[in-house]
Amino acid sequence: MGNNAIVGQSGGPTAVINASLAGVYESCKQRGAGKVYGMLHGVAGLMDRHIYLLDEKLKTTLDIEFLKRTPSSYLGSCRYKLPDWRGPGEKVYKQLFSYLNELDIGYFFYIGGNDSMDTIWKLSEYGRHIGSYIRFMGVPKTIDNDLMATDHTPGYGSAAKYIAVVMKELIRDATVYGTKYVTIVEIMGRNAGWLTAAAALSKADDCEGVDMICLPEIPFNVDNFVEKVARMQAEKPSIVIAVSEGVKLHDGRYVCELSDDVRPVDAFGHKSLTGTARFLANTVARKLETKTRCIELSTLQRCAGHLTSRTDITEAYQVGGAAGKAAFDGHTGMMVGIKRRSNSPYQSTTQLHPIEQVANLEKKVPLEWINEDHTGMKQEFLDYARPLIQAELTPIYIDGLPRHIYLPD
Amino acid sequence: MGNNAIVGQSGGPTAVINASLAGVYESCKQRGAGKVYGMLHGVAGLMDRHIYLLDEKLKTTLDIEFLKRTPSSYLGSCRYKLPDWRGPGEKVYKQLFSYLNELDIGYFFYIGGNDSMDTIWKLSEYGRHIGSYIRFMGVPKTIDNDLMATDHTPGYGSAAKYIAVVMKELIRDATVYGTKYVTIVEIMGRNAGWLTAAAALSKADDCEGVDMICLPEIPFNVDNFVEKVARMQAEKPSIVIAVSEGVKLHDGRYVCELSDDVRPVDAFGHKSLTGTARFLANTVARKLETKTRCIELSTLQRCAGHLTSRTDITEAYQVGGAAGKAAFDGHTGMMVGIKRRSNSPYQSTTQLHPIEQVANLEKKVPLEWINEDHTGMKQEFLDYARPLIQAELTPIYIDGLPRHIYLPD
């Protein structure tokens, strides 16, 4: 069987996805892998034979350190869904496996979210079907924290830290004039509110925290929302609200669909959500006597390499390394998850999960972690999330800017 | 004459405005000031006798260190314009001076931009008029970098660094799929393009930089813009553009006025600008076959205490200290400016400017620093701006978040 390895990145980037790549790379090399290739733009690029020999770029420990500190997908990404291999789609698999065999691949790693785990599931199933020796391992990655089986996902801790820090700064900024102001901050999360919930972490001795948190897990009512804002603003002038881009009405429509933006649909059938905060800010401004501001954290929240959680980067590196170990131990069709051993002191380890327990599924925020009037998070959530944002990994600043590693053209 | 001092903050917050406050405070104390008061919400709060004795809060060097690292105006801010003192408005001045005398104030400091310097101008003129001994000193502060006389303003370096770093991260994020994408990032700056120009600093060995920069100094033509984007996208799929919120058409209308948002006007007659990037992204999406995304850096760019320039913080502290020295030396009606001594190595010092050379005036980006086709900045700008973003002042992280100092309620 082949002794080379190949690794790809898929789905939305995170600030720590390359730390997992570093973990996979070093783990494979230490276990005696021959060449280690990277797929450019994931499995979509692989089908076009767009690969890169990582050994040519990752030569020193300094390269690895830069890789760990480089946000966004170093190898590029894709949103490509493999067809069903039972049927006419099989020709895609034949083509892929033929190329993998040509490259003498024994170990295949895919770093991504629940859509990407679908790719590992299908490839490993097809591999078993044809008796291939290639081991297919999933490495979890998503700022959304919506993967099943794992306690949390690499990428979440850094995005959560970014959100908590930025909310703290925005709250200060919003209160500076002492005037009536409603600031509505839109945070990513299509169906799961993990990221928006992280706004609750901004509360500390030196910050009163956000005034309201709206998660997609709770059906949204615009009138109730405006009423709550009015009630809060009777107590204090500046109100800061964290709202998920994915909040939905009782009838299932996204709140942002109430505005008039065009929404394209991607390969996985996801609507593009945007404009929730703007719609709500306009609505509040129209109904209440107050200035409003909407702020979309947009892609800033997933690419902020300058503000990461060291806990997150360390775990991202660890799951990559554990995936390498598992593949060399003979496992296939699995994803490496994180198992929490204790909260205080925080300790975690990795464990393997059959890929079908993860692929295409979504883990939502438990309803019992949301407070009674659906405006904030309970202590259970804070206990869960706080350890994940601890400590920092300082970028290496060159001439005033964080230095990244990049692929030659 | 009074031996107490009072200091206020006015206008939009910055990440380093409190470093200037620290400079004023320590400088006054070292020069034998009695009590040092802070105005809450600037001169507007002062009129309502909202003051705070800073000596009760700033007791240790650790307090000063937290203050330097706390973004947004520690004392609160206002956008209040003093009336003309020649006429019925004089009663406001009588009231203010009576209160200042009651507090035994000898030294009055105001940290702010060109609107705030109008306050110092009027107060110092009135002071001379009535023969008051109180010295009135302006301390420059604005992310906009649009003050006359001074080489640059404290607050600009940190905002410029934030923009350069974030643009670098956004460029990485935007190229990850290798697909056609136009990302338009909206940056603050009503009439002066200094902040938007800072996007040019993102270019480095590891980043190709932004593809286009649109400053308010250059009249904007929507059709030309779309045409340039089309031409650029013929060369490469992902285009990232930095556009000032203040770009205007040939007829003087703001581009954002072409969209349909409501725009209130503040006390200084400024329109609230927003929606420029959204309007342009929608226009490009409609006219060209490409996905687009608009990102507004919004208040994030002025309150990011987690990502500051140490050069900027140091200078912010220095101008505060120099203002204290100048007031104790007997100066009044002046603003402390920064004078650049050399670019390489970067060296600067402070100097005094009569306040009327600064108040109500705006310094724009020199047209000769903008390239021929109005899409980017020339080397002269980079040489000017690069020293200002050098080095970092790491926040003090407690439990995963930067710790700030705050006023007791």
In this complex, is the C-beta atom of B13 within 8 Å of any C-beta atom belonging to chain A?
Answer: yes
| B88 cis-preceded (ω within 30 degrees of 0) | no
What mean pLDDT comes out for the span A376-387? 98
Same domain, A30 and A90: yes
Read off the pLDDT band of A203 (50, 70, 90).
very high
Among partner residues A78, A285, A295, which is closest to B177 by beta-carbon distance?
A78
- Residue A274 — pLDDT band, cuts 50, 70, 90? confident
> How far apart are the C-alpha atoms of B158 and A167, rounded to whole Å?
18
pLDDT digits (tens, 9 = 90+) for B335-370: 999 999 999 999 999 999 999 999 999 999 999 999
Residue B159: both structure tokens together: 């905002």
Residues A299 and A160 in one domain: yes
| Inter-chain touch A176–B73, beta carbons under 8 Å | yes
Interface list for B 272-311 with A (CB within 8 A): 282, 285, 291, 293, 295-296, 298-300, 302-307, 309
* Segment 374-403 of chain B within 8 Å of chain A by CB: 386, 389-392, 394, 397-403
Q: Tell whether B38 lies on the interface with A, counting CB pairs under 8 A.
A: no
Tell whether A293 and A310 lie within a shared domain. no
Please name the residues in contact with A211: beta carbons below 8 A apart, sequence gap of 6 or more.
A232, A239, A240, A241, A375
Q: Where does residue B27 fall: left (phi above 0), alpha (psi -120 to 50 degrees), or beta otherwise?
A: alpha
Question: CB-CB: which of A76, A169, A296 is closest to B305?
Answer: A169
Q: Is the CB of A386 less than 8 angstroms away from the CB of B400? A: yes
Of all helices (H) and strands (E), which one includes residue B39? strand B36-39
* CATH code, domain with A170: 3.40.50.460
Tell me whether residue A48 is one of the annotated catalytic residues: no
Which residue does chain B place closest to A392, by CA atoms? Answer: B400
Instruction: Please tell me whether residues B105 and B243 are part of one structural domain.
Output: no
- The 10s digit of each residue's pLDDT in B92-135 is 999 999 999 999 999 999 999 999 999 999 999 999 999 999 99
Mean pLDDT of chain B: 95
pLDDT: which is higher, A409 or B391:
B391
Asked if the structure places residue B295 within a domain, the reply is yes
Question: Do residues A149 and A345 lie in contact, with contact meaning Cβ atoms separated by under 8 Å?
Answer: no
Contact A170 B403 (CB under 8 A): no
Last residue of a domain, one of A303, A326, A346: A303
Check whether B404 has a pLDDT greater than 60: yes
Tell me: do B296 and B320 sit in the same domain: no
Secondary structure of chain A as H, E, C letters: CCCEEEEEECCCCCCCHHHHHHHHHHHHHHCCCCCEEEECCHHHHHHCCCEEEHHHCCCCHHHHHHHHCCCCCCCCCCCCCCCCCCCCCHHHHHHHHHHHHHCCEEEEEEEECHHHHHHHHHHHHHHHHHCCCCEEEEEECCCCCCCCCCCCCCCHHHHHHHHHHHHHHHHHHHCCCCCCEEEEEEECCCCCCHHHHHHHHHCECCECCCCEEECCCCCCCHHHHHHHHHHHHHHCCEEEEEEECCCECCCCCEHHHHCCCCCCECCCCCECCCCHHHHHHHHHHHHCCCEEEEEECCCHHHHCCCCCEHHHHHHHHHHHHHHHHHHHCCCCCEEEEEEEEEECCEEEEEEEEEHHHCCCCCCCCCHHHECCCCCCECHHHHHHHHHHHCCECCCCEECCEECCCCCCC
Reported as type and span, the H/E element at residue B212 is strand B212-214
Select the residue of B72, B201, B398 nearest A176 (Cβ to Cβ): B72
- CB hemisphere CA count around B235 (13 angstroms): 6
How far, in whole angstroms, is CA A93 from its chain's centroid?
A: 27
Cβ separation B13–A391 shorter than 8 A: no
The pLDDT of residue B1: 79
pLDDT in tens, A53-107: 999 999 999 999 999 999 999 999 999 999 999 999 999 999 999 999 999 999 9
Residues B273 and B338 placed together within one structural domain of the fold:
no
pTM: 0.96
Whether pLDDT at B269 is above 60: no
C-alpha–C-alpha distance, residues B71 and B206, integer Å: 30
Residues in A closer than 8 angstroms to B305, CB to CB, are 169
pLDDT band at B262 (very low <50, low <70, confident <90, very high): very low
Give the model's pLDDT for residue B259: 81
**What is the structure's pLDDT at B214?**
98
Asked if residue A11 and residue A149 are part of one domain, the reply reads yes
How much is the pLDDT for B85?
96
What is the amino acid identity at position B381? F
Domain ends where: A319, A344, A359?
A: A359
Query: Considering the domain boundaries, does residue B13 fall inside one?
Result: yes
**pLDDT by residue (tens digit) across B148-165?**
999 999 999 999 999 999
- The complex's ipTM? 0.96
The predicted pLDDT at position A11 comes to 94
pLDDT of residue B272: 63
- What pLDDT score was predicted for residue A259? 81
> In the 8-state DSSP scheme, what is residue B77?
-
State the average pLDDT for chain A: 95
B32 in Cβ contact with B3 (< 8 Å): yes
Residue B89 domain-assigned (yes or no)? yes
The answer on A134 and A30 residing in a single domain is yes
> Does residue B247 sit within a domain?
yes
The pLDDT assigned to A1 comes to 78
- Residue-wise pLDDT for B172-196, tens only, equals 999 999 999 999 999 999 999 999 9
Residues A29-56: tens digit of each pLDDT? 999 999 999 999 999 999 999 999 999 9
Residue B141 reports pLDDT greater than 70: yes
Is pLDDT of A262 > 50?
A: no
pLDDT at B407: 83
Q: Peptide bond before B354: cis, by omega within 30 degrees of 0?
A: no
In a domain, A379, yes or no: no
**What is the pLDDT confidence band of residue A401, given thresholds at 50, 70 and 90?**
very high
* Same domain, yes or no: A167 and A261: yes
Q: Which residue of B has its CA nearest to A304?
A: B169
d(CA A307, CA B305): 12
Cα B149 to Cα B157: distance, rounded to the nearest angstrom: 17
Predicted pLDDT of residue B274: 76
The answer to whether A140 and A336 are in contact (CB under 8 A) is yes
pLDDT of residue A372: 96
**Res. A120: pLDDT tops 70:** yes
Asked whether residue B372 is assigned to any structural domain, the reply reads no
Asked if A136 and A54 sit in the same domain, the reply is yes
Is A362 an 8 Å CB contact of chain B? no
- How far is CA B34 from its chain centroid? 30
The partner residue sitting opposite B165, judged by closest CB among A176, A299, A401, is A401
- Is the separation of the CB atoms in B196 and B251 below 8 Å? no
Question: Do residues A127 and A56 both lie within one domain?
Answer: yes
* Domain co-membership, B85 together with B161: no
What pLDDT is stored for residue B367 in this prediction? 98
Residues of A with Cβ-Cβ distance to B303 under 8 angstroms? 169-170, 172-173
Which of the residues A63, A84, A118, A144 is marked catalytic? A144
pLDDT at A270 over 90: no
The partner residues of B7 in beta bridges, in order of sequence, read: B38, B109
- Asked if residue B390 is part of any domain, the answer here is no
The structure tokens listed for A306 are 């300058």
**Neighboring chain A residues of B79 at a CB cutoff of 8 Å:** 177
In a domain, A367, yes or no: no
Confidence of residue A271 (pLDDT cuts 50, 70, 90): low
- Domain range for residue B349? 4-143+305-359
CA distance to partner chain A, nearest, from residue B5 (Å): 22
